[in-house]
Amino acid sequence: MAKHGSAKEWAYRNLARRKQVERNQKLKKRYGITLDMYAEILASQNGVCAICEYAPSADEKALAVDHCHKTLRIRGLLCQWCNRGLGYFKDNTKVMKKAIEYLTSKGHYGIIKKQRW
């Protein structure tokens, strides 16, 4: 056995550090930013989603790096729900505005007698 133990033993003893290194590599590969840059963006947003201001707990998924798929510019960090919402709307602001109008409209077709969910 090597003087300092095997790579597997090191990985087990240094799980938190290994996860940090892996996260840094993932950020660099996908978005061209480091973990320090991610932390700066997060701090500028006061640790919350840029849209809904949700602050994920330590055991929840980290905020996603939101970016424009056309320009590849990073816009900010979003919770998984806001990030998916933008994705479902395909970043189409016209459709998003129509969705807001729909949600805030006064008209309705009646009241559901019994909720099924």
The CATH number given to whatever domain includes residue 95 is 3.40.1800.10
Tell whether 59 is covered by a domain: yes
Q: What is the CA radius of gyration of the chain?
A: 21
Global pTM reads: 0.77
Q: How many domains does the chain have?
A: 1
Q: 23 is in which domain, residue-wise?
A: 7-104
Tell whether 115 is covered by a domain: no
CA–CA distance, 94 with 88 (Å, rounded to integer): 13
Q: What is the mean pLDDT of residues 35-63?
A: 94
Mean of pLDDT over the chain: 88
Tell whether 109 is covered by a domain: no
Give φ, ψ of 78 to 5 degrees: -130, 150
Lowest mean pLDDT among 6-15, 17-26, 73-82: 6-15
Q: What is the mean pLDDT of residues 12-38?
A: 89
Tell whether 90 is covered by a domain: yes
